[in-house]
Structure 1
Amino acid sequence: MLLGEPRELGELRERRTATRSRARYYRTHTAGSRLSVEDIPKDLVAGAAVLHITGITPALGEGPLRAVTRAVDIAVDAGVMVSLDINYRSLLWSEEEATRTLVPLVRRSDLVFAGPHEARLAVPGTDDPEELAQGICALGPGGAVIKLGAEGAYALLDGEEHRQPAVPVTVLDSVGAGDAFVAGYLAELLAGEPPERRLRTAALLGAFAVSTTGDWEGLPRRHELELLDHHDDIVR
């Protein structure tokens, strides 16, 4: 079950230069900001293979925060894996507010995704991916994946280190790359694939995301995952 990133009529993006975009959030009166405990379906969460949450939802207000907490309560009681993408947005709340709210969620999660800056909310004082992953796992999760953009990713999963290089592509729009990466990882996790395969697919989806415009429009179907390995511009 996915509980995160409500985007309904609440986000506008503008491209300011060839390499810079700016996002503006208008979520005060959106459906996502009105999420409440009563909206959380207990049976659905308890029967899920994974509950995936992000740091965006708790940033929308007390109601969404209580709803996320309730979903995590249900998942933990039912033995459902909890996956958290920290996904910090400075336009929604301060680092101090995010840290106070997200660290308790990190402690209750089984798997945490974060970029280096996001990971420092929970593990201050270092930029090193290994130290960030170790610090996150020391808080309770069994796995931490540090998303490193063009440098790939570093993962610490059940005490084992994994490194995944990025897939080289021409970058058109980086928005949505982190979400795509997490989606690829979780899809392979649910398919029972080992960590190496999860990270490879995650990197591929991230590459698809940045090489097309839009958040999700360029994401591939499973049979297209190896498309980036073709050397011709047109696959015939």
Structure 2
Amino acid sequence: MALFVPAVPGPPDEVVTWTRTIGGAESNVACHLAVLGLRAAWVSAVGGDAFGRAVVRAVESFGVDTSGVVIDPARPTGLYIKESDASGSPVRYYRRGSAASGMGPALLDGLPLDEVRVVHTSGITPALSDSCLALMRALATASRSFLLSFDLNWRPALWTDRDPAVLRDLAAAADVVFVGADEAERVWGVEKPTEIRALLPEPATLVVKQGADGATVFDGSAAPVFQPALKVDVVEPVGAGDAFAAGFLYGTLAGWSPERRLRSGHLRAATALLTHHDVGPSLPEDLVESLLGASPDEWAAAHISLGVTS
């Protein structure tokens, strides 16, 4: 989607100039993975309009393959407005009848899914339309040689006239699932990591994001592993969950331990927390390597802010 953020800080109703950028859960993850050095592709639909062209160009600029993106001449590109604030950024969606809402199972035809290692999806897509829900169900039930990743990404405004009960089924069909503890409480009435795991025993890997506290991973039959979040001077939080998912998936493909995968997620999330945009500049490589292998005390003492890390 096209994304507009305030060009200067201030109350949204007083902002005169807005900056156009891009946003979207799955495209964010693809961009982060490409920046991390992996081959990544984004498959979606945009309108045949200036916003759609801008979105595709922007995603491509991160090194993401967009050859699977459909240009819909009849529907517009979706957009949203982010009222940036460090304590939480209200988001206004304008996506009803968008090109992405016209996606369906036919989108899977011809995709080289046997050539990929991970397909990342989110709970946003099935909320867009009946055909998008059919697309997600087709992907979830198809035979596969790749890992299917699913991020709950609860967006209540998208579910006002749809039944969110399908989200548990889609999550249960995935191999790697990301769920925010606060999201799970709103959608399923459970919040503790162990309660969420009891609700979702099927995925091989379940990651419960616990905000500024950290994240817990349930990986197979092993005991759950918790990793505290980094201390970060937050500019604004939207997009951090997508960055975390990308960092965790990167570590998964690298064959890292659960603790190292969680740290990779937290480090990538920090890059989004330090910017008003959904995909921010990477942290220095030497810092990342140092923190990935840091002792628990060193990790707990780390503090990341714009231009200064201690």
Category of TM-score, reference length = shorter chain: 0.7 to 0.9
Residue 80 of structure 2 is aligned with which of 11, 15, 20?
Answer: 11
Structure with greater contact order relative to length (CA < 8 Å, sep ≥ 6):
2
1:95 Cα deviation after fit: 9.8
1:78 counterpart SS class: coil
User: Residues 183 and 156 (structure 1 numbering): CA distance in 2 closer, same or farther, change over 3 Å?
Assistant: same
Q: Partner residue of 2:13? A: none
Q: Partner residue of 1:131? A: 195
User: Residues 176 and 5 (structure 1 numbering): CA distance in 2 closer, same or farther, change over 3 Å?
Assistant: farther
User: Residues 234 and 166 (structure 1 numbering): CA distance in 2 closer, same or farther, change over 3 Å?
Assistant: closer
Q: Partner residue of 1:23? A: 91
Offset from partner CA, 1:4-36 (integer Å, 9 cap, x none): 898854211123x55342111111232211112
TM-score, normalized by length of structure 2?
0.65
Which segment is superposed worse, 86-95 or 104-113?
A: 86-95
- Output the amino acid matched with 1:131: E
Q: Partner residue of 1:198? A: 261
Q: In structure 1, how many angstroms separate the alpha carbons of the residues matched to 2:288 and 2:181?
A: 27
Is 2:135 the counterpart of 1:67? yes
Q: In structure 2, how many angstroms separate the alpha carbons of the residues matched to 1:93 and 1:230?
A: 37
Q: Partner residue of 1:171? A: 234
Offset from partner CA, 1:111-131 (integer Å, 9 cap, x none): 21111132246753x321222
1:158 Cα deviation after fit: 0.7
User: Residues 218 and 46 (structure 1 numbering): CA distance in 2 closer, same or farther, change over 3 Å?
Assistant: same
Q: Partner residue of 2:65? A: none
Residue 225 of structure 2 is aligned with which of 142, 146, 162?
Answer: 162
Q: Is the 8 A contact 2:231 2:304 kept in 1?
A: no
2:87 counterpart SS class: coil
Residue 110 of structure 1 is aligned with which of 171, 175, 182?
Answer: 175
1:186 Cα deviation after fit: 0.4
Offset from partner CA, 1:166-204 (integer Å, 9 cap, x none): 011101110001101000000111122222211110011
Q: In structure 2, how many angstroms separate the alpha carbons of the residues matched to 1:152 and 1:203?
A: 8
Q: Partner residue of 2:299? A: none
Offset from partner CA, 1:36-65 (integer Å, 9 cap, x none): 221114552233211211000111101111
Count of paired positions: 228
Is 2:157 the counterpart of 1:91? yes
> Percent same amino acid among aligned pairs?
32
Q: In structure 1, how many angstroms separate the alpha carbons of the residues matched to 2:137 and 2:105?
A: 9
Q: Is the 8 A contact 1:108 1:141 kept in 2?
A: yes
1:91 counterpart SS class: helix
RMSD, aligned CA: 3.0
Q: In structure 2, how many angstroms separate the alpha carbons of the residues matched to 1:5 and 1:148?
A: 32
Q: In structure 1, how many angstroms separate the alpha carbons of the residues matched to 2:111 and 2:232?
A: 42
1:2 Cα deviation after fit: 5.8
Residue 38 of structure 1 is aligned with which of 78, 91, 106?
Answer: 106
Gaps of 5+ in 1: none
2:83 counterpart SS class: strand
User: Residues 26 and 158 (structure 1 numbering): CA distance in 2 closer, same or farther, change over 3 Å?
Assistant: same
Q: Partner residue of 1:148? A: 210
User: Residues 234 and 156 (structure 1 numbering): CA distance in 2 closer, same or farther, change over 3 Å?
Assistant: closer
1:133 counterpart SS class: helix
1:222 Cα deviation after fit: 5.4
Gaps of 5+ in 2: 1-40, 47-54, 56-76, 292-301
1:83 counterpart SS class: strand
